[in-house]
Structures are given as C-alpha cells and as structure tokens.
C-alpha cells in the first residue's frame, strides 16, 4: 500500500510540474516582446502605416502570439492599431486608468515623447487568463506614435 501511495504522489507531482512548465512556456518573455516591437516598427517602416496598422490589428497575423500582441498609440492617446481588441481602434484612451488609478496611456505618451524607447509597468487584463495582472510594456516611438508590446508577470 505504501509503495502505491508513493507512486501516486510522484505521479501527481510530475503532472503538476508538467502543467506549470506548460503554463510558463505559454507566457511571452521580455525578449520576445522587444523583438516583436522591433519587428513591428520595421514592418511599418517597410510597408507604410496603413498596411502596418492593419497587420498589427490582425488577430491571426504575425504580431499576435499567445498573450503577446502589439498596439500602436498616437502621441495624442488615440489607438491606431490593436492586436487584441480591434474595437479600441480610433478611440482616444488618454484618460484610461488601470485598477490602481494609474493613467497608463497618458504616461506612455509622455514617455514616448521624452524617452523614445522604454518599459512601462501597469495592470491590465491578460487576454489568455481573462484576469487583471501586472504587465510590463515595451514601447518604441515611431514618428508621431508609440509601437508597444507587453508581457504579463
């Protein structure tokens, strides 16, 4: 009986570690977010804003991978492209706040104007878990816009 319990316990531990490992592999990394933003910037430069914004907003396109997607904000706070929610395109979100009251779009626009390239922390709904989670967003200024992609922590 005792060997059976040990075997069952080991199987449960292995299964739990496999589940945890699979979940960890599904979340994007900071390096992947940085690379995707750089790829998005290069795509817009090579193909123009219209085609670039359309591709970024395509949920099945090259700029949407697991919980990682790109967004493009004009420096006035207007969403120009959104990889997770096309209903946001054209909306001015400058006054949008996260659950802690942080005006993250306003901060993002100001950081784009002053720094050009940066990481920003705030809280946002993870599209894969549907839960509000801490998020870090990597952004690069491109002309009068910021191209961003983030990771959930």
CATH of domain 28-152: 3.30.450.20
Which residues have CB under 8 Å from 33's CB, separation 6+?
A: 68, 136, 137, 138, 149, 150, 151
Output the pLDDT for position 48: 98
Number of residues written out for the chain: 153
Q: What's the pLDDT score for residue 25?
A: 55
User: How far, in Å, are 2, 22, 40, 59, 66 from residue 71 at the CA level?
Assistant: 55, 26, 10, 11, 15
CA 132, 70, 135 angle in degrees (round to 5)? Answer: 30
User: CA separation (Å) from 94 to 80, 85, 98, 102, 105?
Assistant: 13, 17, 12, 11, 5
Q: Note down pLDDT in tens along the chain; length 153 residues.
A: 444 444 444 343 344 333 333 444 588 899 999 999 999 999 999 999 999 999 999 999 999 998 899 999 999 999 999 999 999 999 999 999 999 999 999 999 999 999 999 999 999 988 888 899 999 999 999 999 999 999 998
What's the rounded Cα separation, in Å, for the pair 153 and 136?
A: 8
Classify 132 as helix, strand or coil: strand
Q: Please answer whether residues 142 and 49 qualify as being in contact, where contact means their C-beta atoms are separated by less than 8 angstroms.
A: no
Predicted structure pTM score: 0.82
Cross-strand bridge partners of residue 65: 68
What ranges do the domains of the chain cover? Answer: 28-152
Q: What is the pLDDT of residue 73?
A: 98
Res 16: pLDDT: 39
Straight-line distance from the first to the last Cα atom of the chain, in angstroms, rounded to the nearest whole number: 42
31: which 2 tokens?
Answer: 């390096």
- pLDDT at position 128 is 81
Q: What is the pLDDT of residue 18?
A: 39
């Amino acid at each position: 009986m005792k060997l059976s319990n040990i075997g069952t316990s080991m199987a449960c531990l292995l299964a739990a570690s496999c589940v945890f490992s699979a979940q960890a592999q599904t979340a994007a990394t900071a390096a992947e977010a940085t690379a995707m933003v750089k790829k998005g910037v290069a795509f817009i430069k090579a193909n123009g804003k219209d085609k670039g914004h359309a591709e970024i907003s395509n949920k099945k396109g090259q700029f949407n991978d697991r919980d990682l997607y790109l967004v493009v904000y004009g420096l006035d706070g207007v969403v120009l492209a959104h990889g997770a929610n096309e209903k946001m395109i054209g909306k001015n979100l400058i006054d949008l706040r996260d659950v802690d009251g942080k005006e993250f779009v306003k901060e993002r626009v100001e950081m784009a104007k002053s720094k050009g390239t940066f990481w920003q922390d705030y809280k946002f709904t993870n599209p894969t878990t549907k839960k509000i989670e801490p998020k870090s967003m990597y952004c690069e200024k491109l002309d009068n816009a910021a191209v961003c992609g983030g990771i959930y922590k």
